[in-house]
Amino acid sequence: MTTDTPSPRPRPPFGRVLCAMITPFTAQGALDPDGARRLARHLVAEGCDGLVLSGTTGESPTTTDAEKAELITAVRDAVGSRVPLVAGVGTADTRHTVELALAAGEAGADGVLVVTPYYSRPPQDAVEAHFLEVADASRVPVMLYDIPGRTGTRIEPDTMIRLAAHPRIVAVKDCSYDVLGTQKVLARTDLAYYAGCDEHILALRAVGAAGCVSTIANAVPSHVAAVLAAYDAGDTARATELQLRLTPLTDAMMNTPLPGAVTTKALLNHLHHPAGPVRTPLRPADTATTARLLAHYEALLAAP
């Protein structure tokens, strides 16, 4: 819904601290539903009040439709009805995206994450039509996923403002790296914005974002939750301190030539959490990279 003037933000539809959960695989590369259950329970126990499945970090391009549905079912079984689950359903094909959105709702998802169609680079009117067709068909609320660095196409602020009028389009995972554009949409709509880049968690919360969809929360869920808890308690100095403490690990995990799925699984495997291998074309992190990740992780845990 669009608004002419800023108003108090509505209650976040999917929680505040969402983890962009990796998809655990067995050593042989098959989906590991039991590992997904164990990881989901751990993340929730450590402060995540929502989970995003089959997103970028969840290696969605390499999982089948059946695996995506099985993953939702397994995680729902693990966390029950108390934790919102948002399922990635975005593809480059509108018809396929609609099919996945319907399947995700049937499998137990509370919402669907729909990325801008990639590779074909549709113009804005086609981007808008794509999202509207998916939202019309979906039986659960929609979170738009704006990540032009991967898709090649931005959801422009004016497009986002128009899309906000659809009753099922309720949220945005923001990886646009356009804070001004984000503020334009926040000022004109009541869309729940979630920082999709870990370095922006506090910055976007300060201008009205609902929370975050965090990759590093796979490894340090309680630390990510603490940033928003401090800010929401009014202790902005503490929130800033905690955000800055996360910076070296965020840099090591996310600001590298390796995708976040690779660095996250390297760290989780070393910490003996369910993870397993990445699927090709991704390749595992080397020993030196894993050692750097572990060093930053241990330094964070050692901080007072």
Contact 279, 62 (CB under 8 A): yes
Quickly list DSSP for 121-159: ---HHHHHHHHHHHHHH-SS-EEEEE-HHHHS----HHH
Given 68, 118, 119, 173, the catalytic residue: 173
pLDDT computed for residue 9 by the predictor: 67
CA distances for 243 relative to 127, 229, 248, 255, 268, angstroms = 34, 11, 10, 16, 21
Q: How many CA atoms lie within 13 A of 16 on its CB side?
A: 21
CA distance 224 to 50: 13
Q: Which domains does the chain have, with CATH numbers?
A: 17-236 (3.20.20.70)
* Active site annotation includes 184: no
Q: What's the confidence (pLDDT) of residue 3?
A: 47
DSSP string, 202-257: HHHHHTT--EEEESGGGT-HHHHHHHHHHHHTT-HHHHHHHHHHHHHHHHHHHSSS
Q: Which of 17, 88, 12, 81 lies closest to 49, judged by CA?
A: 17
Question: Is the torsion defined by CA of 42, 206, 177, 137 positive or negative?
Answer: positive
pLDDT of residue 109: 98
Low-confidence ranges of the chain (pLDDT < 70): 1-9
Tally of CB atoms within 10 A around 295: 13
pLDDT at 36: 98
21 near 215, Cβ under 8 Å?
A: no
- The fraction of the chain above a pLDDT of 90, given in percent, is 96
Radius of gyration (Cα) for the chain, nearest Å? 18
Note if 145 is an active site residue.
yes
Catalytic residue among 145, 193, 194, 297: 145
- Give the chain's end-to-end CA distance (angstroms, integer): 43
Mean pLDDT for the chain overall: 96
How much is the pLDDT for 304?
Answer: 78
Per-residue model confidence (pLDDT) at position 8: 59
- The β-bridge partners of 214 are 19
